[in-house]
Chain A
Amino acid sequence: MKTGHCSCGQVTFQSEGPWRDIISCHCEECRRTTGHFWAATAVPTEKLEITNNAGLKWFRASDFATRGFCTGCGASLFFRMDEKDYTAIGAGCVDDTSDLKMVEEVFIHEKGDYYPLSEGLTHSEGFSYAWKGEDETQ
């Protein structure tokens, strides 16, 4: 069981997983929302238990996805695509990431102009297989 929360504590969550390794997203939407770029693990949505949703607000970020943030502190917690059965979770909001590792960077063609990508990671211009869900990796 892993737990997590936003900065102010008005959103808390937990899940038994399975927890996906971490993928950073450099799309403009993630960059504006986070103020830099986002990095997320993910769990099956049915396995995600939001234990305090007092501050949680879902923002319709595009015609296929929503983002969950805290109205108390602005934390960028969740990203969920309408037709997918998992929820991406900001790695910085997870209490224990010791068994997770950064493995991929996606939407690299939209990256910011003031920083380099990380060497040694898989790079993609779109969603990775992991973002699409395990059912599409075959």
Chain B
Amino acid sequence: MNVKGKCECGAVRFEAEDVRETVHFCHCSQCRRTSGHQWAATRADNDKFRFISDETLKWYASSEIAKRGFCGTCGSSLFYQVNGADHIGIAAGCIDEPTGLVGGKHIFTASKGDYYDIADGLPQVKD
């Protein structure tokens, strides 16, 4: 499946081929802080992913093992990548519709917020 996407202000644009069809919803404390709620992502191999425009893209080292890419102009939380990985996580909300994506599973649910329930029937992985 091929996708195109962009941040809120349009300064960061990308396209990717053969992205994973399923979206993983992440409830870890980092994703909850950066998104303001929870983050959702598909992924693509690095060699199937291309920036159309990335002048405003900034990378934040969110842990010792990974970094997060966001737009320095509008703050959109676009990407997640484990250091040295051959693939990149792409925010589902930044992909142009129709996305062709479907829900896959919830991850890091042990860290989920206490103000919402997960009740969509998808598998839940605690960590």
How distant is B26 from chain A, measured CB to nearest CB, in Å?
A: 9
A24–B40 alpha-carbon span in the complex (Å): 15
Q: Are the CB atoms of B91 and A35 closer together than 8 Å?
A: yes
Cβ of A76 < 8 Å from any Cβ of B?
Answer: yes
Q: How many chain A residues touch B (Cβ–Cβ < 8 Å)?
A: 46
A32–B25 alpha-carbon span in the complex (Å): 15
Select which of A31, A59, A71, A75 is within 8 A of B34 by beta carbon: A75
Q: Are the CB atoms of B8 and A35 closer together than 8 Å?
A: no
Q: What's the count of A-B pairs with C-beta under 8 Å?
A: 168
Q: Are the CB atoms of B37 and A112 closer together than 8 Å?
A: no
A100–B114 alpha-carbon span in the complex (Å): 8
A31–B35 alpha-carbon span in the complex (Å): 10
**Segment with Cβ contacts to B, from A36-44, A45-53, A127-135:** A36-44
How distant is A58 from chain B, measured CB to nearest CB, in Å?
A: 10
A69–B60 alpha-carbon span in the complex (Å): 13
Q: Which residues of A contact B74 (CB under 8 A)?
A: 32-33, 59, 61, 67, 69
How distant is A72 from chain B, measured CB to nearest CB, in Å?
A: 7
Q: Are the CB atoms of B117 and A35 closer together than 8 Å?
A: no
Select which of A36, A59, A102, A118 is within 8 A of B35 by beta carbon: A36
**Which residues of A does B touch, CB under 8 Å?**
5-8, 22, 24, 29, 31-40, 57, 59, 61, 67, 69-77, 90-93, 97-98, 100-102, 112-116, 118-119
